[in-house]
Amino acid sequence: MRSIMIGAVLLALASPALAKPSAAKAPPKKEAPAAKAPDFDIGQMMAVMDKLFPAQPDPAPARLALSRTAVQGLLPDGTYARMMDGVMHGVADRVLGLTEADLGKTDAKGKAADTTTLREKMAKDDPNFDERMRIIEKIVGEEFAKMTAMIEPRLREGLARSMARRFDEKQLADLNAFLATDSGRAFGRQSMAMYVDPDVMRAMVSTLPEMMKGMPDAAKRIESETAHLPKTKGDKAKPAS
């Protein structure tokens, strides 16, 4: 099983390996030791998340009971792990197959960049690279499977609470009746995975060029429609262009 963590690890490895070579530099001057960064405070981060996503009112008990049944059909045990496995299937190999040319890099003279793949570069420095990656993928997959056992129950409860607020008892009963059929069970097993299907992901990514084209117009609208407001202190401090 391949997880998003593998993709992140490989992309992290790819960044320096595929970086454009730079001219040799003189050894850096010794500097005073940097101040120690403060320890990461998970409690503080969770407190911020609590403000961003405040607790919602408890749904009606009858509706919550019905929605929990529905969510169990929509998110059966193991769905999250299978979904992540589907998302990352083959991604690790495709990342390792990237070259500088794939990333649009060129050398100092503007010629096409190196076409050596990341896998070839890594294997050159590490003859055991493929075996090392096989072991890493196995461990990451097994550890991620453990995490999904903690993630899924909480995700189901969150979805159940959301559904209980959005649908009434009759609607929830209708959904449960459908999910109890063969077609409903098949739909439930696939409903979450469909949103990360390659065709769906490609469709979403294909909208990026149009979205980027629309940003300048949006910026002009913001400038025009806020022109009647007094300038902020920051705007007043900016030199005239």
CA distances from 30 to 33, 34, 35, 37, 210 (A): 9, 11, 15, 19, 48
> Who's near 96: CB < 8 A, 6+ residues apart?
10, 117, 118, 119, 122, 133
Question: pLDDT averaged over consecutive 10-residue blocks of the chain (241 residues)?
Answer: 43 46 53 68 91 94 97 90 71 84 76 83 92 88 86 94 97 98 95 87 93 94 93 71 53
Which pLDDT score, from 0 to 100, does residue 204 have? Answer: 93
Burial 175-189 (b: 16+ CB within 10 A, else e): bbeebeeeebeeebb
Predicted local distance difference test score (pLDDT) of residue 95: 86
